[in-house]
Each structure stands twice: as C-alpha cells, then as structure tokens.
Structure 1
Amino acid sequence: MKYKRLVSLWLIIVNLLLIVSACSKEPEKTVKTEFLMDTLMELTAYGPNGEKAIDAAMKRIKEIDVLMSVSSETGDVYKINKAAGQDPVKVSDETMYVVQAAQHYSQLSEGAFDITIGPLVSLWGIGKKEEVPSQAAIDSTKALVDYRKLRIDASAGTIGLPERGMSVDLGAIAKGYAGDEAVRIFKEYGVKNGIISLGGNVVVVGTRPDGKPWRVGIQNPFKPTGNYAAVVEETDKTVVTSGTYERYFIKDGKRYHHILDPSTGYPADNGLASVSIIAGKSIDADALSTTVFLLGPEKGMEIVEDLPNIECIMITNDKRITVSSGLQDKINITDKDFVYEEGR
C-alpha cells in the first residue's frame, strides 16, 4: 500500500512538472518580411495561427499599397491626382477613410501637415535624386499645395482636386492605416502576441509571450538603424517615428530630408532630429509624428498635450530628449550621449 501511495505521488509530481513545462514554453513563433510601401516590413506572430495571420495581413497591406500609392495606376490616389482640374473621382471606402483622417490632421495643424503636399514631394524627389530645386520652382510648386481646396464628398464617395498640377500624397499616413489593418487581422486569427514593424511604424499586439510589456527602441537619429537612444515599454500600442535620418541627401554640407514644410517649400528646419508618437491607433500616430515634427518643439508638444491618450518623444539636433507629461519617469534613456529634459 505504501508503495502504491509513493507511485501515485510521483505520478502527480511528474504531471505537475509537465503542466508547468507546457505553460512556460514559448508559443510557436512565425516571422515574415516583405518590401512593401517603399519600406521593409517584418511581421511577427505567436501561436498556432501565426502564419495564416501574417499571410492575410501581408495581403491586406499589398491591397492598401495599390490603393494609396501615387504611382499605382489602378489605385485611387493615382486616379485622384490624374484627374486634378477635372471632375472628382469615385474612391473606395478605405481610401475615403484615410483621406478624411489626413484632412483632419491638415485642419488640426492649420496646414503644417498638408495632404496635398504631393507637388513638393515630386519636385524634391528625395530618395530618388539629390538636387536642390531653384527658388522659382519651389515658389511655383508651393502654390499648388493647399489642403483647403481638396474636394471631399463623403456621401457621393468622391474626391477631387480643383487645379491641374495639384496632387494628394498619403505617404505620411497610409502606413499607419496599414498597421491598424494588420492588427485587426491578427486579432481575427486569434493572435494575442505579436509585433508589426512597418519601417518606422511599430505596433505591438498584446504583451510579450511571457506576459511582460514589449520593449520598443527609439532609433538614435545619429547612428545606423538598430542603435537606440531610448526604450519604452508598451502593450497594445503603436510607436511611430519620423526623422531627418530616414531619407535625405547632403549638398554643400547641408542635410535635406524628406519631411517638407508646406509653408516654406523646403525640408523642415526647426532643431528636431526625430519625433516619436505613442498612441492606440497607428493611423493617428503616423499622421501626428509628421504633424508634430513640422510644428516644431513648442507647438508640437502643445498639440500632443491637448490630445487624449497620445504621448510624444522628441529628439533635437543637439541630442536632447523631451517627452510629453504621460511619459515622464517612464522612458529609459539608453544612450549616454543624450540629455533628458523634463517636458514643458
């Protein structure tokens, strides 16, 4: 009898060990990368449906890329721009949603963020050519940029531009929408833990498999990709960064980056090297990272503090880091070259 009790106890212990081992084992991990929307995208999902979720998310991102790219002849944005000066064109519901969101941030920033920035983007062609346009070319092109002229008829589902040469560019918001769509698809497939990395846009789904928050690195704008100035811990959030280091060229010792100021026609020059926005929705964080960068340190932080559930990390050209009030004492500065300053 005593022997049987010992055997039973041993079996219970073994079963408990197996249960603990099974619980502590990291779930199946799937990672896939593709080059879409002019950037390298890496999607990571944990769980049995990870691969299906990633494949479906990548397919959806490709659809968005076609709809919202300025160069896709079958897409809505291309058709809107081609019809500039003519009748408005019918667009898909998703394009209407993103354009309306972009127009909202154009209005909120009083044109610092401008959805009709397309002509200036084409003129500079940063990432494709390394020439500083003439002042005359900048002035004439700048006259074509005015979000207030955009014709949006939500009831008819149409969008139009009143003047030839005007064009819409969703490059500062479409990836954010793609990130939100990827999250939606992950959740549809039951993925509770994952990372969606779309270039400078990062979305963390749930927690890490061990239940701890994800650690998201804030790129050091003065060093190669993968070197971080700071780290934040987040759960179910998106972190989107816009910076002068992403696409640029140097001419006569001056850096010309891709974040163009509609008011001057030149790359923004306000002392900022990068702006990171933390939010619940990636479409908001994407648009705001550019908006805040263009508004500059003072006005940019003011607008962040006025918005609910939005946080901001600013890095200046002289290596100072300033954060919004909700991030104070919650950010880990990992590079000793940077000086942390309390938010204003």
Structure 2
Amino acid sequence: MSNPQAAAPLLRTLLLGGAFVLLAGCDNTDSLEQFGGPTQGSTYSIRYVRHVGRPAVAEVRHEVEAILAEVDRQMSTYRGDSDIERFNELPAHSCQVVPAPILELVRIGEQLSMESDGGYDLTVEPLMNLWGFGPQGREQKVPDAAKLAEVRQRVGHRYLRIDGDKLCKDAAVEVDFNSIAAGYTVDRIVDRLKGMGLDSFLADVTGELKAVGRKPDGSPWRIALELPRDDRQVAQRIVVLDGYGVSTSGDYRNYFEQDGKRYSHTFDARTGAPITHNLASVTVFHPSTLMANGLSTLLLVLGPERGWEYAETHGIAASFVMRADTGFVTRTSQAFERLAKGDGHDM
C-alpha cells in the first residue's frame, strides 16, 4: 500500500480556458470556482460550477474541510491521537469502539484482501516501517530475515474482527488506511457537494479524483493519463470523466535500490516484501472513488498478469503501464476502452 506523502499520481486535470471560465446570459452567470489546501500529507482541490443562488466558496470550503478534519481525526497514521492509531497501540486480544467509517473501511479491506488471496492487506504498516517506508520507518534497507519473520507474525487481515461497534485484534496488528482513505474522502465530499445543490464539480484529494457534470462552457472534465517518468510529465491519453472516480497506484516515485535491485513502497502481504514485478502503475476508473483507490493498489500488488486477469474477470476499467526494455508498455482492459469511448454505462 502506498504512502500518500510520497506517491505522486499519474493524473492531471485539464481545465481549458484557464483557472476561471465565465459564461454570461441575460440574467444568469455561472462561474467556475476553486479552492484547495494541504491534507493527508499532500493536497486537495475542489473546482465547482456555481449557479446563481448556489453556495459561495467560503461555505463550500467550510463543509469540505470539516470532512477532511474528521477523516484525519479518525484515520491518520501520522497523528498519535487518531482513532486508528489508538487502536494500533493496543496489544493483541483487545477491542476498541471506533467510528462507523472505520468499520466500513475494514470490511472493504477484508473484501479486497480475500479477492487478492491476501496480497492486498490493511495491516502492512509494521512491514512498511521495517523496510523504511512507513510513518515510523527510519532507514530504507532490506531488513534482517529474522526480524522480517518476527514482524510478519503481526500482519494479516485475518487477525481483525468486528464486534458490534468495536474493532478487535487477535494479534498485535496495525491498520493503515492509506490505500483507500483518500478515495473514501473524495466520495464523502462528493455526497456533501450534491447535498448542497451542486451538480458539476471536480474533487481531488491527494490525486484521487471524481468528476460530475460539465464546466460552465459545456465542456467535460478531462484528465490526462501520464507515463511514469521522474524528469517530466508526458500525457499519454486523455479521458473524459462524468460520474467516475479515478485512482492511480504506482511504484515509480517511492523506492530504494540495494545491490542492484529495486524495492518499491507497495507491499505484497503474502511475502512481507515490496513488489518486484515490472508493473509500474495502474489507473482504475470506478463509480466509487473508494473502490477505484483500493482496486488500483490491489491490481498493482497482483502484477501485470494476475492483475490483468482480475480486471478483465471483474469488468474493471483499468490501464496498466509496464516497464520494458524499450521503455514503457501500456495495456488497457475492455471496460477501460468502453469508458474511454464514452460507453462507460455498459460497464
């Protein structure tokens, strides 16, 4: 699972006509408003079409930042007083009353873990710390085999269980929501924007996106998928969004090399080690940004072949970028091609 402070997304929003676009009518003016700021170790941004009589930026910003603050209090692994960190500090065979959203994400994590045969797992934080990628990580290096074996005893979704409004652990596991928290946050924000009467907007939290409706000039919200390069941004394909969340997981930014071998910040819980295959990134489109977020990580963990088979079997709109001797090779699922051609409703 990825660290949001280090993993830069392969997505760029394309807002043609500048940051603000105005359309004037006889008695009506629609404007494209925007605001943003820091969150979850990265940034967020909201762009929305404001119709006459609809909420101003200050009101919308207040509602959005209330959601961001709530998610941070509940799910941040970078503050010791969050609900999940207080749970993480408990010993084995302990239970704690937690907010309903935490239980919701644990259930989704269990589903994704089962569907990936345990490769995707919400409890890999001790491994991330051990390898130097987590919030308590000190040095990025291959750990001692004995220490790795010891830490792996504290990793596994099977050690988590829900008892009413309590989350319980049968081993000293630590939960890390970094692979789904941003997508969950986007969906929460989208629901709130709709509740405020907004019908066209683009919400971005740490690079996880969802777009609804169109801009004031009638043009769609669009994103550019980029090749995973460190030196510059290279737009590979432009996709129109309306009602879809999108998430990219990749190993191209946060990694280290030791003895000529590359070690990514994305972990396979079955091995206790970073992934080592040639799949550089996966972008997933899904009506639920939460699911897009989790599935992009799941597919990255499964790799170029098993991940591809999973996407095709489950009808997931996904774009895979693999490393090859000549550079990068892209492969897209059938569901992705339907969506890219404007036929996403058949997914």
- Mark yes or no: TM-score above 0.5: yes
- Does the aligned pair in 1 maintain the 2:92–2:170 contact within 8 Å? yes
- Does the aligned pair in 2 maintain the 1:274–1:314 contact within 8 Å? yes
How far apart in 2 are the matches of 1:119 and 1:112? Answer: 15
How far apart in 2 are the matches of 1:117 and 1:33? Answer: 30
Which piece of structure 1 moves more, 266-275 or 31-40?
31-40
| Alignment match, 2:153 | 143
How far apart in 2 are the matches of 1:327 and 1:24? Answer: 41
Alignment of 1:93-108 (within 5 A): 93-108=100-115
Distance 1:227 1:84, change over 3 A: farther
How far apart in 1 are the matches of 2:235 and 2:148? Answer: 35
| Alignment match, 1:22 | 25
Deviation at 1:315, TM superposition (A): 0.3
Distance 1:270 1:140, change over 3 A: same
Which has the bigger relative contact order, CA under 8 A and spacing at least 6? Answer: 2
Deviation at 1:245, TM superposition (A): 2.2
How far apart in 2 are the matches of 1:221 and 1:104? Answer: 29
- From 55, 59, 70, the equivalent of 1:49 is 55
| Alignment match, 2:169 | 161
- From 214, 225, 245, the equivalent of 1:218 is 225
By percentage of residues, which structure has more helix?
A: 1
How far apart in 2 are the matches of 1:197 and 1:219? Answer: 17
**TM-score, scaled to structure 2:** 0.82
Whether 2:79 is the aligned partner of 1:69: answer: no
* Structure showing greater Rg: 1
Deviation at 1:78, TM superposition (A): 1.0
Deviation at 1:86, TM superposition (A): 3.6
- Does the aligned pair in 2 maintain the 1:53–1:191 contact within 8 Å? no
Alignment of 1:193-212 (within 5 A): 193-212=200-219
- From 125, 133, 136, the equivalent of 2:143 is 133
Deviation at 1:94, TM superposition (A): 1.2
Q: Secondary structure, in 3 states, of the residue corresponding to 1:32? A: strand
| Alignment match, 2:254 | 247
Deviation at 1:272, TM superposition (A): 0.5
Q: Secondary structure, in 3 states, of the residue corresponding to 2:290? A: helix
Whether 2:323 is the aligned partner of 1:320: answer: no
Deviation at 1:169, TM superposition (A): 1.0
Whether 2:45 is the aligned partner of 1:38: answer: no
| Alignment match, 1:119 | 126
Q: CA RMSD in A?
A: 2.4
Which piece of structure 1 moves more, 32-41 or 311-320?
32-41
**TM-score, scaled to structure 1:** 0.82
Deviation at 1:278, TM superposition (A): 0.2
Q: Secondary structure, in 3 states, of the residue corresponding to 1:283? A: helix
Distance 1:189 1:111, change over 3 A: same
Distance 1:58 1:263, change over 3 A: same
Which piece of structure 1 moves more, 311-320 or 218-227?
218-227
Q: Secondary structure, in 3 states, of the residue corresponding to 1:28? A: strand
| Alignment match, 2:243 | 236
How high is the sequence identity, in percent, across the aligned residues?
27
By percentage of residues, which structure has more strand?
A: 2
How far apart in 2 are the matches of 1:26 and 1:275? Answer: 39
Q: Secondary structure, in 3 states, of the residue corresponding to 1:241? A: strand
Deviation at 1:238, TM superposition (A): 0.7
How far apart in 2 are the matches of 1:263 and 1:31? Answer: 42
Which piece of structure 1 moves more, 270-279 or 69-78?
69-78
Distance 1:84 1:286, change over 3 A: farther
CA deviation profile, 1:269-319 (whole Å, cap 9, x unmatched): 1210100000000110111000011111222122222335x3100000121
Distance 1:40 1:252, change over 3 A: farther
Distance 1:247 1:25, change over 3 A: farther
Q: How many residues align?
A: 309
Segments of 5+ residues of structure 2 without an aligned counterpart are: 1-22, 342-347
- From 267, 270, 276, the equivalent of 1:260 is 267
- Does the aligned pair in 1 maintain the 2:317–2:339 contact within 8 Å? no
How far apart in 1 are the matches of 2:250 and 2:71? Answer: 23
How far apart in 1 are the matches of 2:107 and 2:214? Answer: 31
How far apart in 2 are the matches of 1:142 and 1:225? Answer: 38
